Chain A
Amino acid sequence: MTQDPDTIISVHDVHKWYGNFHALKGIDMDVKRREVIVIFGPSGSGKSTFIRTINRLEEHQRGQIIVDGIELSHDVRNIEKIRMETGMVFQQFNLFPHLTVLQNITLSPIQVRKWSRQKAEEIAMQLLERVGIPDQANKFPGQLSGGQQQRVAIARALAMQPKIMLFDEPTSALDPEMIKEVLDAMVELAKSGMTMLVVTHEMGFARAVADRMFFFDQGQIVESGTPDQIFKSPKEERTKLFLSQILSH
Chain B
Amino acid sequence: MTAMKPTLPPLTERSNVLRWLRRNLFGSWMDALLTILGALIVYWVVKGFLTWALVTADWRVVAANMRLLMIGQYPIAQAYRLWIGLAFLMFLSGNSLGIWARQSRFGPVLLLAPALLALLPFGAEPRKWLIILTVTGLAGWGLGLLRPEVLKRSVIAGWVISLPIFILLTRGFSESASGFMPAVQTNLWGGLLLTFLLTVVGILFSFPIGVLLALGRRSELPVIRLASVGYIELVRGVPLITILFMAQLMLPLFLPPNVTIDRVLRAMVGITLFSAAYLAENVRGGLQAIPKGQFEAAHALGLNGAQTMIFIILPQALRLIIPILVGQFIAVFKDTALVAIVGLLDLVGIARTVLAQPEFLGRQREVYAFISLIYWLLSYGMSYLSQQLEERLGVGKR
**Residues of A that sit less than 8 Å from B by CB:** 55, 57, 80, 83-84, 86-88, 90, 92, 94-98, 107-108, 111-112, 139-140, 142-143, 156-157, 160
Partner of B302 from the list A96, A97, A108 (CB cut-off 8 Å) is A108
B99 → A minimal CB distance (Å): 20
In the complex, the answer to whether A112 meets B300 with C-beta atoms within 8 Å is no
Q: What residues of A have a CB within 8 angstroms of the CB of B315 in the complex? A: 98
Q: What residues of B have a CB within 8 angstroms of the CB of A55 in the complex? A: 299-300
In the complex, the answer to whether B319 meets A83 with C-beta atoms within 8 Å is no
**Residues of B that sit less than 8 Å from A by CB:** 291, 293-294, 296-304, 307, 311-312, 315-316, 319, 396-398
A–B Cβ pairs within 8 angstroms, 15 of them: A55-B299, A57-B300, A80-B302, A84-B302, A94-B293, A95-B297, A96-B312, A96-B316, A107-B303, A108-B301, A108-B302, A111-B311, A140-B396, A142-B396, A160-B302
Q: What residues of B have a CB within 8 angstroms of the CB of A107 in the complex? A: 301, 303, 311
Query: What's the Cα separation between A88 and B297 when bound, in Å?
Result: 8
Query: What's the Cα separation between A108 and B398 when bound, in Å?
Result: 22
Partner of B316 from the list A92, A98, A157 (CB cut-off 8 Å) is A98
Which 3 interchain pairs have the tightest Cβ spacing?
A: A94-B297, A108-B301, A88-B300
Interface SS, B side: helix
Query: What's the Cα separation between A80 and B302 when bound, in Å?
Result: 6
**Shortest Cβ distance from B393 into A: residue:** A98
Q: What residues of B have a CB within 8 angstroms of the CB of A97 in the complex? A: 316, 397-398
**Shortest Cβ distance from A87 into B: residue:** B300
Q: What residues of A have a CB within 8 angstroms of the CB of B300 in the complex? A: 55, 57, 83, 86-88, 90, 157
Query: What's the Cα separation between A51 and B398 when bound, in Å?
Result: 29
Decide: A83 near B396, CB < 8 A? Known: A57-B296, A90-B296, A92-B293: no
Q: What residues of A have a CB within 8 angstroms of the CB of B316 in the complex? A: 96-98
Query: What's the Cα separation between A157 and B300 when bound, in Å?
Result: 8
In the complex, the answer to whether B303 meets A111 with C-beta atoms within 8 Å is yes
Partner of B301 from the list A92, A143, A156 (CB cut-off 8 Å) is A156
**Shortest Cβ distance from A82 into B: residue:** B302
In the complex, the answer to whether B302 meets A140 with C-beta atoms within 8 Å is no
Partner of A98 from the list B299, B304, B319 (CB cut-off 8 Å) is B319
